C-alpha cells in the first residue's frame, strides 16, 4: 500500500475473533462509543481501509453497510462515509465540561484588551516576513532567537526604554515566566539560589522561582518603591539577585525613587549581585515622561526582561532578556535544554512590525485607550463618591491600587460582593508574602474590558463597594 497517498488516517485495534468482518465492526463501534470517532468524522474509502488492514474490499464494504443499517454510520454518494450522531441510549455519557467560567465583568489586572490586537498589521507583517524568509527559518534555530528580532529589539529598546542592548546579548523567550525561570535556574547552578522579591508582589512569580530550586526573600515595598536600601543587610544579606518592577511596581503602582535606583545598582556592583528588571508595562506612561530602564545605568549588573504580552497580547508568547555578558552563555545553554528555541514565525512578524514602526503605532494607540480608561476610573472612584477612595499607582501601567478606608468595608467583603454581581476582582491581600496585619485593597485592572463594556464594569465595582 502507498501510505503517503492514504487520504484519511484511522487507527483501529482489529480483533478477528469471530471473523474479520465482525472484528472490524466491533472496532468501529468501540471507536465511536469511546469518542475517538466523533459525529461527522469521515472514514477512509473502503479500498484505502482494506489496503491498510490487509482485508478484502468486500469485507470492509460489508462492515460499513452493516453499521449504516444500525445507524452508526451515514453514507452519501459523493460525500463518503461519516459517523452518525449517536442516539442517547447508545452514546456513553460525556464528561462534564471543565473550562474557566467567564465573568460578566472583569477588572482583574495582568491582561491587556486583547480585542485591540492589530490583526491587519500582524497579517501584513507575517506575509512580508515569510515572503522574504529563506527556507532555513523552518528548521531548528538559535536558542537566542532569530537575529532579525534581536536586531530590531536592540534598536527599539535603546530609543524607547533607554536599554543598552547588544543583539548578541538578547535571548528571546516564551514569556516572562520562562525568562524568570531560566535566570533562577542559572543562579541556582552557580550557588546563589536566594532571590529578593518585592513584597507585595505576584505570588505566581515567587512559585516559579521556588520550582527552580530558588529561595524567595521578601523585599519590602513602601511609597518610594522597593526598599533596595535594605539589600545586603539582615535577612536580605544572602540574596544573590533582586527581582524588581522599577517603572511601575506591581501591584502598588509606585515608581522606584531615584535614590532607591542608585542603592539597587550600588548593591549589585559591590556584592556581585544581579538585578532582574521586570519592565512589564514600561511603555505605558500617562502624566509624565517615561522612566528609563535601570539597565541603562548598569548593563553589566542588570538582566532586563521585556515582553509583548501587554502591548500586543499574551498569546504570542514573546518576551526577551537583555543580559550581562557573563550570563549570556549560561542562559543560552539552559534555554537550549529547555525547549531548544522559541517559535520562529512570530519572531519574524514582530521584527517586521518593529522595523516598520507599526509596533510604535500600536503602543501609542492602546496607550491612548488605556489613558481614557484610567481617567474614567479616577472620575468614578477617585474624585467621585465624595472622594472616599484613594487610588494609587495611576501615573503608568494597566492597573491601579484602590486603597480601602479603615472605617469602610473589608477587602474580603468587597470581593464577596463583587462575586455576587458577577464581577471578577483581585485583592491586594493575595500579593503579600507576609499577609498578617497588612492593609487591604483592590488591584483594579482597567485594560481588560473592551471600551463598550468598561463603564458597566466600573458601575459594578461601585455597586460592590456600596453593598459590601
Q: Residue 3 has what pLDDT? A: 42
What whole-number distance in Å separates Cα of residue 397 and Cα of residue 278?
Answer: 13
Residue 467, H or E segment: helix 454-467
Name all domains of the chain by residue range, CATH numbers in brackets. 3-83 (1.10.10.10), 106-110+361-467 (3.90.1150.10), 116-360 (3.40.640.10)
Kindly report, residue by residue over 220-237, the tens digit of the pLDDT.
999 999 999 999 999 999
DSSP string, 216-242: EEEEEEETTEE-GGGTTSGGGTT-SEE
Q: How confident is the model at residue 99 (pLDDT cuts 50, 70, 90)?
A: low
Q: Residue 59 has what pLDDT? A: 93
Instruction: Flag whether pLDDT at 463 surpasses 90.
Output: yes
Q: How confident is the model at residue 440 (pLDDT cuts 50, 70, 90)?
A: confident
Instruction: Flag whether pLDDT at 92 surpasses 60.
Output: no
Instruction: Flag whether pLDDT at 6 surpasses 50.
Output: no
Copy the grid coordinates of residue 395.
501615573
Kindly report, residue by residue over 135-175, the tens digit of the pLDDT.
999 999 999 999 999 999 999 999 999 999 999 999 999 99
Work out the mean pLDDT of the chain and round it to a whole number.
92
Residue burial 138-169, b: 16+ Cβ < 10 Å; e: rest: eeebbbbbbebbbbbbbebbeebbbbbbebeb
Q: How confident is the model at residue 4 (pLDDT cuts 50, 70, 90)?
A: very low
Q: How confident is the model at residue 197 (pLDDT cuts 50, 70, 90)?
A: very high
- From residue 53, alpha-carbon distances to 1, 31, 36 in Å are 10, 16, 18
Q: Residue 383 has what pLDDT? A: 56
Amino acid at each position: 500500500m502507498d501510505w503517503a497517498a492514504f487520504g484519511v488516517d484511522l487507527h483501529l485495534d482489529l480483533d478477528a475473533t469471530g471473523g474479520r468482518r465482525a472484528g472490524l465492526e466491533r472496532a468501529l463501534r468501540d471507536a465511536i462509543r469511546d469518542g475517538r470517532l466523533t459525529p461527522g468524522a469521515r472514514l477512509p474509502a473502503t479500498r484505502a481501509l482494506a489496503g491498510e488492514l490487509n482485508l478484502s474490499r468486500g469485507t470492509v464494504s460489508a462492515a460499513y453497510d452493516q453499521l449504516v443499517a444500525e445507524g452508526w454510520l451515514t453514507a452519501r454518494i459523493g460525500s463518503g462515509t461519516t459517523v452518525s450522531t449517536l442516539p442517547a441510549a447508545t452514546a456513553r455519557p460525556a464528561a462534564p465540561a471543565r473550562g474557566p467560567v467567564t465573568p460578566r465583568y472583569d477588572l482583574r489586572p495582568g491582561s491587556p484588551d486583547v480585542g485591540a490586537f492589530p490583526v491587519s498589521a500582524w497579517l501584513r507583517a507575517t506575509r512580508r516576513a515569510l515572503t522574504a524568509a529563506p527556507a532555513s527559518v523552518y528548521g531548528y534555530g538559535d536558542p537566542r532567537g532569530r537575529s532579525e528580532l534581536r536586531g530590531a529589539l536592540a534598536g527599539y529598546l535603546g530609543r524607547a526604554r533607554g536599554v543598552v542592548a547588544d543583539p548578541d546579548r538578547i535571548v528571546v523567550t516564551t514569556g516572562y515566566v520562562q525568562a524568570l525561570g531560566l535566570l533562577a535556574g542559572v543562579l541556582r547552578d552557580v550557588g546563589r539560589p536566594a532571590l529578593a522579591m518585592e513584597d507585595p508582589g505576584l505570588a505566581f512569580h515567587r512559585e516559579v522561582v521556588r520550582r527552580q530550586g530558588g529561595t524567595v526573600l521578601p523585599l519590602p515595598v513602601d511609597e518610594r518603591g522597593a526598599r533596595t536600601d535594605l539589600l545586603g543587610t539582615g535577612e536580605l544579606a544572602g540574596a544573590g539577585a533582586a527581582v524588581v518592577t522599577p517603572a511601575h511596581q506591581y501591584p502598588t503602582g509606585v515608581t522606584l525613587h531615584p535614590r532607591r535606583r542608585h542603592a539597587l545598582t550600588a548593591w549589585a556592583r559591590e556584592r556581585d549581585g544581579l538585578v532582574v528588571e521586570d519592565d512589564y508595562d514600561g511603555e505605558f506612561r500617562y502624566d509624565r515622561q517615561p522612566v528609563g530602564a535601570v539597565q541603562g545605568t548598569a548593563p553589566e549588573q542588570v538582566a532586563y526582561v521585556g515582553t509583548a504580552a501587554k502591548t500586543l497580547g499574551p498569546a504570542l508568547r514573546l518576551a526577551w532578556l537583555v543580559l550581562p555578558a557573563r550570563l549570556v552563555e549560561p542562559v543560552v545553554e539552559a534555554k537550549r535544554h529547555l525547549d531548544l528555541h522559541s517559535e520562529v514565525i512570530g519572531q519574524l512578524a514582530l521584527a517586521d512590525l518593529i522595523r516598520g514602526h507599526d509596533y510604535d503605532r500600536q503602543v501609542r494607540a492602546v496607550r491612548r485607550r488605556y489613558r481614557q480608561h484610567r481617567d474614567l476610573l479616577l472620575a468614578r472612584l477617585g474624585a467621585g463618591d465624595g472622594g472616599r477612595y484613594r487610588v494609587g499607582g495611576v501615573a503608568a501601567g494597566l492597573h491601579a491600587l484602590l486603597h480601602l478606608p479603615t472605617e469602610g468595608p473589608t477587602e474580603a467583603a468587597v470581593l464577596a460582593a463583587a462575586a455576587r454581581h458577577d464581577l471578577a476582582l483581585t485583592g491586594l491581600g493575595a500579593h503579600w508574602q507576609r499577609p498578617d496585619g497588612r492593609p487591604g485593597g483592590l488591584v483594579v485592572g482597567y485594560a481588560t474590558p473592551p471600551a463598550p463594556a468598561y463603564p458597566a464594569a466600573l458601575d459594578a465595582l461601585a455597586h460592590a463597594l456600596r453593598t459590601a
